[in-house]
């Protein structure tokens, strides 16, 4: 009887060890994967913002030079075009940074399901940093990726959006709530010509939407 008991506890111990190893391996894999994705996204953000800064400077120099070399005000001025930055195969149209949740991601020009799996997207509105309400969407990943930590944001927290023209605008959160997945009123709301953004992501059970409103500071 004692031998059977020892055998049982030995098997139980082996099972616990195996389960612990698998669990630790899973957690380590998630942590490393999330770290790699975050680093790659942050690197793309830096690349985008650096290129925007350089290209805008070159464009201004080109315009100045052309103005100095012509007396004909009707002459068309050619300017350099901003070089495109790619992320996961999609064109980057801007960046989003949220210091409180350490979000630093590119925003891409597609709203396809595939694009939303790998990046933050602009879903609706006049465009990044344009007058009006622009909706920006990201998945709620359990490892905290993308908008997975939006539930931690509060009124007064800051969001920074950089657009393809090189403008970096600070927005301040003033409203956060949960709504049904069929409610799209947050996107079409009237804001009297101001610049605002709405962040949208799924709740943990994917049945509803967590929505955040922020206005230009």
**pLDDT mean over 57-78:** 47
Confidence of residue 72 (pLDDT cuts 50, 70, 90): very low
Residue, of 24 and 212, whose pLDDT is higher: 212
Task: Report the distance separating Cα 111 and Cα 123, nearest Å.
Answer: 6
Q: Are 211 and 199 in contact (CB under 8 A)?
A: yes
pLDDT for 56 beyond 90: no
Task: Report the distance separating Cα 29 and Cα 162, nearest Å.
Answer: 32
What would you report as the CA-atom Rg of the chain, rounded to the nearest whole angstrom?
A: 24
User: Which of 5-19, 48-62, 144-158, 187-201 is predicted least confidently?
Assistant: 48-62
pLDDT score of 174: 98
Confidence of residue 81 (pLDDT cuts 50, 70, 90): low
- Residue 130 CA, distance from chain mean position: 18
pLDDT score of 133: 97
pLDDT score of 176: 98
CATH class of the domain whose range is 2-216 = mainly beta
pLDDT-above-70 percentage for the chain: 79
Q: Are 118 and 86 in contact (CB under 8 A)?
A: no
pLDDT for 33 beyond 80: no
pLDDT score of 79: 39
pLDDT score of 18: 84
> pTM value?
0.77
């Amino acid at each position: 009887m004692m031998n059977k008991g020892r055998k049982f506890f030995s098997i139980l111990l082996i099972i616990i060890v195996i389960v612990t190893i698998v669990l630790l391996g899973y957690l380590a894999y998630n942590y490393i994967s999330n770290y790699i994705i975050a680093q790659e996204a942050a690197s793309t953000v830096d690349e985008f913002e650096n290129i925007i800064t350089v290209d805008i400077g070159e464009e201004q120099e080109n315009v100045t030079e052309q103005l100095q070399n012509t007396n004909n005000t009707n002459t068309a001025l050619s300017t350099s075009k901003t070089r495109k930055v790619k992320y996961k195969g999609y064109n980057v149209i801007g960046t989003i940074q949220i210091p409180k949740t350490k979000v630093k991601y590119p925003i891409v020009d597609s709203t396809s399901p595939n694009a939303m799996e790998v990046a933050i997207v602009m879903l609706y509105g006049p465009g990044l940093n344009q007058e009006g309400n622009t909706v920006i969407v990201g998945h709620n990943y359990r490892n905290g990726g993308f908008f997975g930590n939006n539930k931690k944001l509060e009124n007064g927290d800051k969001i920074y959006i950089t657009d393809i023209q090189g403008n970096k605008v600070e927005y301040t959160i003033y409203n956060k709530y949960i709504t049904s997945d069929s409610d799209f009123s947050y996107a079409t709301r009237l804001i009297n010509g101001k610049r605002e953004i709405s962040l949208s992501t799924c709740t943990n059970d994917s049945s509803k939407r967590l929505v955040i409103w922020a206005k230009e500071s």
